């Protein structure tokens, strides 16, 4: 009985994990690069990116491109950034760039 319940649970969670959205962000020159991918490796073709500063104020919104990516200028990131991506249907995740991450990646 327990074995059947565990198998059923595994079958139910498998499809959910396949649609898990993963978000990555890093600094490239003077820009922040955001990349979103589903666990399957597929990239969302539509989605909204919201960027919050270190005080949790929304400072920028934009869509992802056809590759599930977005770029924006680094300015305003002194206290760090929280970057959220919403690809719809409950597929959301975020990435945090701390002030230390930003300093390390910009050589400052």
Q: What is the pLDDT of residues 34-75, one digit of tens each?
A: 999 998 888 888 899 999 998 999 999 999 999 999 999 987
71, part of any domain: yes
- Tell me, what's the pLDDT at 4? 54
Is residue 95 within 8 A of residue 83, CB to CB? The reply is yes
pLDDT given for residue 6 in this prediction: 45
Residue pair 63/51 in contact (Cβ under 8 Å)? The answer is no
Query: Cβ–Cβ contacts within 10 Å for residue 105, how many?
Result: 14
Query: What is the four-CA torsion angle of 49, 51, 57, 58, rounded to 10 degrees?
Result: -40
| Cα–Cα distance, 67 to 62 (Å, whole number) | 14
pTM of the full structure: 0.78
Q: Answer whether residue 49 is part of any domain.
A: yes
pLDDT digits (tens, 9 = 90+) for 2-31: 655 445 544 444 444 445 899 999 999 889
Q: Is residue 84 part of a domain?
A: yes
Looking at the structure of the chain, the number of domains it has is: 1
Q: Report the chain's mean pLDDT, rounded to a whole number.
A: 83
User: pLDDT at residue 91 above 80?
Assistant: yes
Q: For residue 74, give the CATH number of its domain.
A: 2.60.40.10
């Amino acid at each position: 009985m327990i074995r059947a319940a565990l198998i059923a649970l595994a079958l139910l969670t498998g499809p959910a994990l396949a649609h898990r959205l993963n978000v990555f962000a890093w600094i490239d020159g003077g820009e922040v690069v955001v990349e979103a991918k589903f666990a399957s490796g597929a990239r969302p073709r539509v989605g909204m990116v919201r960027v919050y500063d270190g005080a949790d104020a929304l400072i920028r919104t934009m869509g992802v491109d056809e590759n599930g990516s977005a770029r924006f200028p680094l300015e305003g990131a002194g206290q760090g950034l929280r970057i959220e991506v919403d690809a719809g249907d409950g597929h959301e995740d975020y990435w945090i760039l701390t002030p230390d991450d930003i300093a390390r990646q910009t050589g400052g």
